[in-house]
Amino acid sequence: MKNAKEVAVFVVGSNAFFDGMDGFCSKDKDYVHLFDDWFPQPQALMLRKDSSDRFLYPNKGLELIDDCIRQNDPLTAGKFLVPEFCEYIGATLNDIKKLENLFFALDDKHKYETYIYECYIKNSGLWLTEKQRIKAFEIYRQYRT
């Protein structure tokens, strides 16, 4: 990773949706870091630093969706619910729909992401109403307390 250059960082996970909401308290913060000039290892790396999980990925745009599908790990799909991340890699709702099976395979602690995905489908776009965000937070709290 000696020549890799970080080009973007995104907050993902529950903090991307609930930070600042009354009653939200996360044990950590998750970030996705994208790098240009990535070394030959094709998969992501995960580091734990300063009570944060940092996921390092090559900056390959929409290919990241195909990588996620090949990996077949529902927990890796959540980053594609963050609108800023999707905008950066050029992903649309139609691209995100390819991950539907992963969103519906999430464990209870991540059911809020399934709900967010369902809202995006209902809204025909990568956005939530305030009412939907509050409902997603209720689902999050239901399985985290």
- pLDDT digit of tens for each residue in the chain (145 aa)? 567 788 999 999 999 999 999 999 988 899 999 998 866 565 677 777 778 999 999 999 999 999 999 999 999 999 999 999 999 999 999 999 999 999 999 999 999 999 999 999 999 999 999 999 999 999 999 998 7
pLDDT at position 83 is 98
- Euclidean distance between CA atoms 30 and 48, whole angstroms: 9
- Angstrom CA distances, 107 to 46, 73, 144, stand at 20, 11, 12
**What is the total residue count of the chain?**
145
**By residue range, what is the domain housing residue 119?**
5-144
Q: In total, how many domains does the chain have? A: 1
pLDDT at position 37 is 80
This prediction's pTM: 0.92
- Euclidean distance between CA atoms 90 and 54, whole angstroms: 22
pLDDT at position 1 is 54
pLDDT at position 45 is 74
